[in-house]
């Protein structure tokens, strides 16, 4: 029995929705329990990532299931689909970059502890940055919301059979009505706001790899060098930031290439399911990587938890200068 493209896409969407919902809810719960008193930068960052991932799956993929079930989207549905899909993709990239920078700074301070301490207003600036990313994301994609429309033709007849496997992409079009706007905004600007943060993310992660190698090769003679939960968690966070980069970058590039050549690939029945997996794979898998950062730890650094009371050291014990 031959499985149709719609059936494959429904199955792919259902699996991604289930995995993403379970993973993101577990991530939210495991992060929330370390909050004490005020909202922490890291909690808002994780909450933003969880929100983006859930919106991606509970809005975009649910709409795809509805469309694949035979319910045709109207112009409003097309606007919501394109706007939400584009917004959540960009925000996922931006917040992942923010996450990597968060651990990069902490790792840099571990490797070079004698340098100037971080600014105490950094948390306030970081909170403003998270809010600014949400506002900027919505502002950037308002033209997409305005200019998206339902195609005038219907996918009926032999002339459009070849497009039946990706009609949700062909029926919901973005028509700017101006060639220059379409070129500079639709084809250049919208690509750059994703690819530039990805390029910065790759650079930051390669730099973190260098710092991790330096940390591994450092020798301190007979001086005791920490190894407490906060340092271990920072090192683990840096490593998983690299894994997140290795996950999101190939997914975004592969999805971009397939969409660019969508008309040439229309005849393949598995293309809609593949596009869905590429666009939502990060939101389904990344929560499990993020949870591993603090697995069986006190979440000291990542949660910005209250500092532990210093323990009394015996007089003959050499205290590490890096403690």
Q: How confident is the model at residue 321, as a pLDDT?
A: 37
Report, as an integer, the average pLDDT of 67-79.
Answer: 83
Per-residue pLDDT tens digits for 44-57: 888 899 999 999 99
Q: What angle do CA 18, 21, 24 make, to 5 degrees?
A: 140
Q: Is the pLDDT of residue 118 over 80?
A: no
Percent of residues, the chain, with pLDDT higher than 70: 73
Report, as an integer, the average pLDDT of 128-132.
Answer: 87
pTM for this predicted structure: 0.82
Alpha helix (H) residue ranges in the chain: 5-32, 41-55, 62-68, 75-111, 122-140, 142-147, 167-171, 179-181, 190-217, 229-260, 271-293
3-state SS, residue 300: coil
Query: 272 or 137: whose pLDDT is higher?
Result: 137
The answer to whether 316 and 220 have CB atoms below 8 angstroms apart is no
Q: How confident is the model at residue 34, as a pLDDT?
A: 59
Per-residue pLDDT tens digits for 146-173: 888 776 654 444 444 444 445 666 667 7
The answer to whether 186 and 174 have CB atoms below 8 angstroms apart is yes
The most confident of the ranges 61-75, 133-147, 304-318 is: 133-147
Q: How confident is the model at residue 235, as a pLDDT?
A: 85
Q: Is the pLDDT of residue 125 over 90?
A: no
Q: How confident is the model at residue 294, as a pLDDT?
A: 63
Report, as an integer, the average pLDDT of 60-70.
Answer: 89
Q: How far is CA 76 from the centre of its chain?
A: 26
CA–CA distance, 197 with 45 (Å, rounded to integer): 16
* Mean pLDDT, the chain, whole residue set: 78
Tokens standing for 266?
A: 């229309």
Phi-psi bin for 317: left (phi > 0), alpha (psi -120 to 50), beta? Answer: beta
């Amino acid at each position: 029995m031959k499985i149709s493209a719609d059936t494959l896409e429904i199955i792919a969407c259902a699996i991604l929705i289930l995995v993403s919902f379970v993973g993101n809810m577990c991530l939210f719960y495991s992060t929330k329990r370390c909050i004490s008193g005020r909202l922490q930068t890291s909690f808002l960052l994780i909450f933003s990532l969880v929100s983006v991932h859930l919106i991606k799956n509970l809005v975009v993929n649910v709409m795809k299931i509805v469309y694949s079930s035979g319910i045709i989207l109207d112009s409003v549905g097309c606007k919501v689909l394109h706007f939400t899909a584009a917004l959540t993709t960009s925000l996922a990239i931006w917040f992942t970059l923010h996450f990597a920078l968060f651990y990069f700074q902490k790792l840099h301070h571990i490797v070079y502890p004698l340098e100037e301490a971080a600014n105490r207003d950094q948390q306030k600036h970081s909170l403003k940055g998270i809010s600014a990313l949400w506002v900027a994301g919505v502002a950037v994609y308002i033209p997409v919301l305005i200019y998206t429309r339902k195609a005038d033709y219907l996918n009926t007849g032999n002339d459009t059979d070849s497009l039946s496997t990706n009609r949700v992409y062909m029926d919901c079009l973005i028509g700017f009505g101006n060639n220059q706007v379409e070129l500079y905004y639709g084809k250049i600007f919208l690509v750059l706001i994703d690819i530039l943060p990805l390029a910065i993310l790759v650079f930051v992660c390669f730099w973190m790899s260098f710092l991790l190698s330096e940390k591994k090769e450092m020798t301190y003679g007979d001086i005791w060098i920490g190894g407490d939960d906060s340092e271990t968690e920072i090192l683990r966070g840096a490593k998983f930031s690299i894994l997140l980069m290795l996950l999101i970058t190939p997914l975004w590039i592969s999805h971009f290439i397939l969409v660019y050549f969508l008309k040439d690939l229309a005849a393949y029945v598995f293309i809609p399911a593949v596009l869905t997996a590429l666009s939502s794979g990060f939101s389904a898998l990344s929560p499990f990587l993020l949870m591993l950062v603090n697995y069986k730890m006190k979440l000291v650094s990542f949660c910005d938890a209250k500092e532990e009371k210093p323990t009394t050291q015996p007089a003959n014990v050499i205290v590490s200068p890096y403690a």
